[in-house]
Amino acid sequence: MQLAEQPQENRFRKKRADILLLNGLVVTLDPESTIFDPGGIAIRDGKIEAAGPSNEIESAFESSETLDVSGCVVLPGLINAHTHAAMTLFRGLADDLPLMDWLRDHIFPAEKKLNEQWVHWGSMLACAEMILSGTTAFCDMYLFEHKVAEAAKKAGIRALVGEVLYDFPSPAYGEIENGLRHTESLIEKWRGDPLVRIAVEPHALYTCSPPLLERCGEISDRHDVPLVIHLSENEAEVKQIMGQYGRRPVAHLDALGLLGPRLVADHCVALDDSEISLLAQNDVKVVHNPESNMKLASGIAPIPRLLETGITVALGTDGCASNNNLDMFGEMDMCAKLHKAATLDPTVLPAATTLRMATVCGARALGWEGLTGQIVPSMLADLIVVDFRKPHLTPLYNPVSHLVYAAGAADVRHSVIGGRLVMKDRMLLTLDLEEIFGHVREFVKTTGAISSRRGAKNHACI
């Protein structure tokens, strides 16, 4: 059947787009690592309609919102695959302590002062920080996660969130039965939302009994949602689990039937060869948090080994109480350099691999593979524009190298999430920073959180 010939005036009519980005250097991170320079992108109905040479995009599309991004690099938005958003409220609290001392003596007690209002404002602060620093999606584990979901929705940032579950009573839901019910109600409430998804999130093996872990796995299976857990964060954790159960953490999860492609394992610092093999065989996703692991002296995760075995490794910042920021540009830079120093090999974790950990691999780990993490037609329009017209980004030989080793959070100029401009020319369009700052300052006054500095050694300069 032959199509009727289109009238001459329709044949050359431009297609409509909601947003056009023109004249930038477009790093697509597609399987071929295609770069368009100068490149353009057409966005329509929340998705990437087309990407290609700028002149072709400009000739084919028209839009009421056109951004000239000359001198800028356009790339997929960064994905923070592990954080605790509302812990922005505890930024700088009880620094310079070992993990278990920091957690049990300072963080857990401070969290008892939280309520859903404070989690809301701490999460709003986190969303603002992430958008301003180039993050367009994040995975969160914390208390009162319904407020984190609401904050992400208001901010317009993509999020996978889950209520933290553990054996002892929670400040958010009380006994664990309430927590499990709350998790399932969150799954139902947010099912099908374009921005927010829910995961099942038991805290860790040392805070969750085998029966609780098995119930979490059953909920994850039944609803086909990710299962997220802290795993093997340091050697002390490994010794504790071996003492309790007679096996290493990954083997413990294997015995419980919880290893699988939906499992997202955060940290994975202290692994032996058998555990790495188990993770690879079961397609478990790993999230690396180098800055937090360094600050808490947890150790250096064997990321090059994990990558060699084909394990998907994403990148996360962890929470602001152990980092102390949500800057994924800094995380990429630190990640690549840490492993070069650890292996004494400058070729380990090259810039291209590290950038994919923060984008493509983050999407794969969190269940968004094929939806975001690349600038490809039909994918969600989650992208950022980084201004390279700066002294520290000049001259330009390799844009990917600059993105990992030279660019910083303050270089992000525009941010688009789901086809919506959420930051333009460094101005947040969905959040009121002054309002957020006011509420967070009130939290500090009300709770006295800043007075908790006990335990840290204080050395005068000599």
| Parallel, antiparallel or unpaired: strands 227-231 and 201-202 | unpaired
Mean pLDDT of 311-318: 98
State the span(s) of the chain assigned CATH 2.30.40.10: 16-76+374-428
Q: Please check the confidence at residue 7 and state whether its pLDDT lies above 80.
A: no
Q: pLDDT over 90 for what percent of the chain? A: 87
Which of 36-40, 104-108, 445-449: highest mean pLDDT? 36-40
Give the CATH superfamily of 16-76+374-428: Urease, subunit C, domain 1 (2.30.40.10)
> What amino acid occupies position 385?
V
Q: Please, which pLDDT band fits residue 93 given cuts at 50, 70 and 90? A: confident
What per-residue confidence (pLDDT) applies to 103?
77
Query: From CA 141, how far away is CA 86, in angstroms rounded?
Result: 9
Polymer length in residues for the chain: 462
State the span(s) of the chain assigned CATH 3.20.20.140: 78-365
Q: What is the pTM (predicted TM-score) of this model?
A: 0.94
Q: Please check the confidence at residue 142 and state whether its pLDDT lies above 70.
A: yes
Q: Please, which pLDDT band fits residue 24 given cuts at 50, 70 and 90? A: very high
What per-residue confidence (pLDDT) applies to 55?
97
Q: Please check the confidence at residue 423 and state whether its pLDDT lies above 60.
A: yes
Mean pLDDT of 77-104: 89
Query: Which pair of structure tokens corresponds to residue 429?
Result: 């369009």
Q: Please, which pLDDT band fits residue 459 given cuts at 50, 70 and 90? A: very low
Q: Please, which pLDDT band fits residue 455 given cuts at 50, 70 and 90? A: very low
Q: Please check the confidence at residue 5 and state whether its pLDDT lies above 50.
A: no
Query: From CA 17, how far away is CA 64, in angstroms rounded?
Result: 8
Q: Please check the confidence at residue 462 and state whether its pLDDT lies above 60.
A: no
pLDDT in tens, 187-201: 999 999 999 999 999
What per-residue confidence (pLDDT) applies to 460?
36
What per-residue confidence (pLDDT) applies to 12?
66
Question: Per CATH, is 78-365 categorized as 3.20.20.140?
Answer: yes
